[in-house]
Structure 1
Amino acid sequence: MSAAALVSIALLGALVGLGVPPVSRRFATAYARSWAFPGSQRVRWSWVDPMVAASVFVGLAVAVGHNPALPVFLAVTAVGLVLARVDLACLRLPDPLVLVAGLLALGGLTAAALLSGTPGRLLGTLGGAAVAGAAHVLLALLPGSRLGFGDVKLAAVLGLPLGWLGRDALLAGLLLPHVLHGGLVLGLLAARKVHRNTLLPLGPALLTGAWLAVLLT
């Protein structure tokens, strides 16, 4: 991909990042709880959001390249950035946002498969959603599990683009979020920022892990 195209995608990501705080604030207010991720209130989100969004968009553009599904990946990511921020603020993954991400992924990938003459890729796409959803349902049903069904639904949605990319991306997208989340929990416990019974959001780890899976595979 050309440098000019990457700059354009970075600018698009920055614009999306500017819109993330007000949108997420509306959802966080609607689902508000008396909880916030440790240290989140000290971050200057007005600067962080555009920078993060631009970096995420450029990473996807480099990894996915001229794949016809790139616009779908970017659209799902835009919704994912809002979901991550809401989950950090109030431990919720609002169903309307997850549904929008799912519709964008399914509809967009279906169109990409048909336009590129590769309808067979839809089998992998749907299979990815089924595998990711089923795996997280099992995790949610384990005794003592703190996995919420909002996390299960988001994992199934993320399984769509990961399934599009293939088995390696799907497996990495299933494993990396829990490695990241586990490492974060251990670090916060060691720093005495949280207690053993503190509930922490998994949504950001699911989204970050899926992004890293795309980059690494």
Structure 2
Amino acid sequence: MSTGLLACVALLGALSGLAAPRAARHFTAPPAPRERDPARDHAAGTGTVPGTVPHAEDTPAVARDADKAPAVVRDGEAGPSVVRVVKAAWGASAGALVFAGLAATLGADPALPVLLALAAVGQVLALVDLACLRLPDPLVGTAGLVAAVGLTGVAATSGNPGHLLGAVAGAVLCFACHVLLALLPGSRLGFGDVKLAAVLGLPLGWLGGPTLALGLLLPHLLHGVVVLVLLAAGRVRRDTPLPLGPALLTGAWLAALTA
């Protein structure tokens, strides 16, 4: 792949990384508060009489003073705008690295656009799992649809159905292995992780047996190293739940770079 095209793919990845947090907020934000009906609240004995203004003493002090209190940034602390810039730069850099790595490895492979689209959804999944320890079915289903439909189309247009058989075998193998892990006594593997592993098995199986084997092994090695580091640093305890989704996605990406 030419340097100019690689730079374009990296830029596309940076844009994907910038958009990922906004997309992730749709799956992590708490539900919007229900609008209060003054008439219903009055009938229930709560709230205020319709058409009246609540007394200041009925309003919590925190709520009364919230609009008055200026935002204070202590010495040595980054302000909200600085934090947003740092997070945006980190997301853009990660997206550019993921996309550029895949493009440099796969080159003109017709499956590259499918893997890039899957990587874009994967960035959102990783952020959601880090934020709330869950992998929403709509996102995992979108990733699975992208991989299945995209790889089927590539196999049909390239006249190479063998790769598609490998992709299906990879998905089945990844699903079976992670179901067994989830059913082990004391396992903390959720079925969201199982479903994501099956989805990632599609591109891993497409890329070949060695890539699939590495994609099965690497996520758990990465997750184990992270857990040991956090335990040693005292940041977590042995019973602290930790997300596996980012490790599954990172391990699959690293395995794809060896294809």
The TM-score with structure 2 as length reference comes to 0.78
1:103 and 2:145 matched: yes
**Aligned to 2:8, what secondary structure does the other structure show?**
helix
**Aligned to 2:29, what secondary structure does the other structure show?**
helix
CA offset digits 1:117-140 (Å, max 9, x no partner): 102221101000000010000000
**Aligned to 1:145, what secondary structure does the other structure show?**
coil
Q: Note the C-alpha offset of 1:65.
A: 1.2
Task: Tell me the amino acid that sits aligned with residue 197 of structure 1.
Answer: D
Query: Which position in structure 2 is the counterpart of 1:21?
Result: 21
Cα separation, 1, equivalents of 2:161 and 2:221: 33
Matches within 5 A, 1:50-129: 50-129=92-171
Task: Tell me the amino acid that sits aligned with residue 161 of structure 1.
Answer: P
Cα separation, 1, equivalents of 2:241 and 2:216: 21
Select 1:176's aligned residue among 209, 218, 223.
Answer: 218
CA offset digits 1:40-73 (Å, max 9, x no partner): xx78321111110001000000111111100000
Select 1:142's aligned residue among 171, 180, 184.
Answer: 184
Task: Tell me the amino acid that sits aligned with residue 11 of structure 1.
Answer: L
CA offset digits 1:125-161 (Å, max 9, x no partner): 1000000010000000000000000000000000000
Query: Which position in structure 2 is the counterpart of 1:7?
Result: 7
**Aligned to 1:216, what secondary structure does the other structure show?**
coil
Determine if contact 1:137/1:152 at 8 Å carries over to the other structure.
yes
Cα separation, 2, equivalents of 1:201 and 1:30: 19
Task: Tell me the amino acid that sits aligned with residue 92 of structure 1.
Answer: R
* Higher Cα radius of gyration: 2
Cα separation, 1, equivalents of 2:141 and 2:30: 17
Q: What residue ranges of structure 1 are gaps of 5+ in the alignment?
A: 32-41
Query: Which position in structure 1 is the counterpart of 2:80?
Result: none
Task: Tell me the amino acid that sits aligned with residue 94 of structure 1.
Answer: P
User: How many residue pairs get matched?
Assistant: 208
Cα separation, 2, equivalents of 1:123 and 1:70: 18
**Aligned to 2:149, what secondary structure does the other structure show?**
helix
**Aligned to 2:186, what secondary structure does the other structure show?**
coil
Determine if contact 1:9/1:57 at 8 Å carries over to the other structure.
yes
CA offset digits 1:73-111 (Å, max 9, x no partner): 000000000000000000010000000000000000000
Select 1:207's aligned residue among 227, 237, 249.
Answer: 249
Select 2:198's aligned residue among 117, 142, 156.
Answer: 156
Cα separation, 2, equivalents of 1:125 and 1:49: 29
Determine if contact 1:21/1:45 at 8 Å carries over to the other structure.
no
Q: Note the C-alpha offset of 1:30.
A: 5.0
Cα separation, 1, equivalents of 2:127 and 2:156: 33
Structure 1 ranges of 4+ moved more than 2 A: none
Cα separation, 2, equivalents of 1:17 and 1:208: 14
Identity %: 63
Query: Which position in structure 2 is the counterpart of 1:131?
Result: 173
Cα separation, 2, equivalents of 1:8 and 1:112: 22
Task: Tell me the amino acid that sits aligned with residue 174 of structure 1.
Answer: L
